[in-house]
A and B are shown apart, each in its own frame.
Chain A
């Protein structure tokens, strides 16, 4: 079946260090969304990527969509304690309907 893998599952960084999480699919994606979920909270939308090779930036966050549209990454530069939470990718496959499949998430801990 179609799967969405996110790595790493957990990441501990010192404040100020960079952080990257990867989302990998076995099949081609139609588009991908990224969400952040704070502890005890609900997912909050960050970005959507649609085009092959697309790169989008939001302040310290950089999102990339792979050329083959099978993988994506989220990179945070100079992490802050406010970046703590779990980052999920949510993908829509090219050959299925309109449902989104969420990855298992990467839990980020920032040590002050």
Chain B
């Protein structure tokens, strides 16, 4: 158990619907990352936060994607007007910058868009 939790673990939605995922990082971690992973590929960076500030966002990220970390603790990732190509595993990871370099990953949310 890495301590990072994600909810829900699975989400099935119809094309065009909005979905929101939640990530609860390890409590003392100040950095939080979102990745997307499809079958046979490595995790693809989406965005990351240091505390409540969103410091970097992938240029590949569509405007339909938005992430927040309002109080520097949990984070949400919202996808608006989902498309079939959004089907993937969405992974959250957290780390404590300066102290230990490793990212601790959560179990992921598997999104299926019909």
- Residues of chain A touching chain B, judged by Cβ–Cβ distance below 8 Å, are 6, 31, 33, 42-45, 48, 88, 90, 97-105
Contacts and interface: CB of A to CB of B under 8 A. Distances in A.
B102 A48 contact: yes
A43 to B, nearest CB: 5
B48 interface: yes
Contacts, number: 53
B105 A101 contact: no
Contacts of B18: none
Contacts of B101: 31, 33, 48
A52 B32 CA distance: 28
B58 A99 contact: yes
19 contacts: A31-B101, A33-B102, A42-B2, A42-B106, A42-B108, A43-B91, A43-B103, A44-B2, A45-B102, A45-B104, A48-B101, A48-B102, A90-B103, A97-B56, A98-B48, A98-B56, A100-B33, A102-B42, A105-B40
